[in-house]
Amino acid sequence: MEIYQLRTFVTVAKLGHITKAADALHVTQPAVTGHIKALEQELGIALFERSHGRISLTKAGEILLPEVEKTLYAFNTTLVRAKEIKGEITGRVIVGTVSDPDFLRLGSFLNGLMTTLPLLDIKTKSAHAMAILESVATRKMTAGFHIGTVTNPDLASLPLRSIRYRVVAPTSFAERLPGCGWGDVAAMPWIGAPEKSHVHQLLLSLFGQHGLLPNIVMETDELISPHSLVRAGLGFSLLREDLAHAAAARGDIVIWSHASIGTQLSFVYRADMDIEPMIVGMLAVLQNTWNLGECAS
C-alpha cells in the first residue's frame, strides 16, 4: 500500500470522477484507475461502484474513507514539518479576508505563517464572502476566510467559530420597536449591503423565512461596519451580536429582541489542494491560532 494510492482514493472519493481526479493529481486517467485497482486488490475489497460513467463509494469505501483521510493528514503534517525544518515550502499565497482583522485573528494567523513557513510570499486581499468563494474556486486566491455556508463541492472548509447577527435600529425607534412585528420591521428603512456580502445573504434569509423582503433604501459596503450609519438615524441594519451589544450598551443603537440569525466563520480552500504542503501548513497554523482539534473538511 502506497501513499500515492491513498491520495488517489481520497481524491476520487471527493470529486466522484476519474477525469477530475486525474487532473487534480496531475496524472493520466489510466494511472488513477491503476492506483484504485491495486489498492482494492491489496485490501481485498471493492472501494468504488462504477455505473454509466459514474463512480461512487461502496459501503466499505465509505467506512474506510475517514481512516484514510486521517492517515494522509498525519503523513502530510509530518512532510510539512520536515520541509519546514529544511525551509523548503515556498510559493505565493493570496488569502482572502472578510470582516475585521481582529475578529479573524488575522495578525496571529499571519505571524504563525511567517514563523513556521518563512519562505512563503504572503498577501491578503479583502473581499465579500461570495467573492472569496468564487476566487478560491477559480484559483485567483489560494484560500480565504468566509462567513456563511459553503456548498461548492470543489471547496473544503475548516470551521472556526459560530456567529450570530442581530437586527439593530436607531435610538429614535426605542419606544415603538418592542411592539413591532416582522412585517413592521421589514417595512422600516434598511441599510443594505452588496449582493455578494454575507450580510446581504443573511438579511434575505432572515426575512425570507417569513415571506418578506426588507425595505432597503440605501447600500453600504459591509466591510466597514454600518453601526455609525444606524447611529446617525439612517435606518436599520444587521450587526454582529458582539458589536451590537457593545453599541447598545453605549446607547448608540437599539436591538430588536425578537430576531437573530446564526452563521459560521470558516477557512476555505480547494478540495483538490488539501494535500498541498502550503495548505496543510496553513491549516496547522489555524488550528493553533484558534485552538482547534483535528482539521475538518
**Nearest C-alpha neighbor of 100 from the set 124, 116, 120:** 124
Residue with cell 467573492: 131
User: Position 209: which residue type?
Assistant: Q
pLDDT over 90, % of the chain:
57
Residue ranges of domains in the chain:
3-85, 88-161+265-290, 163-262
Distance CA 174, CA 190 (A): 16
pLDDT at position 83: 66
| Inter-residue contact 278 to 117 (CB < 8 Å) | yes
In this prediction, residue 73 carries a pLDDT of: 82
Please say if the pLDDT value at position 224 is more than 70.
no
Q: What is the CATH number of domain 3-85?
A: 1.10.10.10
| Domains 3-85 and 163-262 in one fold | no
Quote the crossing angle between the two packed helices 106-116 and 277-290, to the nearest 10°: 130
Please tell me whether residue 198 adopts helix, strand or coil conformation. Answer: helix
| Percent with pLDDT over 70 in the chain | 94
Q: So what CATH class is 163-262? A: alpha beta
Answer for the pair 120, 278: CB distance below 8 angstroms, yes or no.
Answer: yes
In this prediction, residue 54 carries a pLDDT of 75
When pLDDT is cut at 50, 70 and 90, the band that residue 32 belongs to is confident
Note the CATH number of domain 88-161+265-290: 3.40.190.10
Q: What is the pLDDT of residue 101?
A: 92
CA 127 to chain centre: 13
pTM: 0.71
Give the pLDDT score at 222: 58
**What confidence score (pLDDT) does residue 85 get?**
55
> Measured between alpha carbons, how far is 213 from 205 in angstroms, rounded to an integer?
9
pLDDT at 225: 67
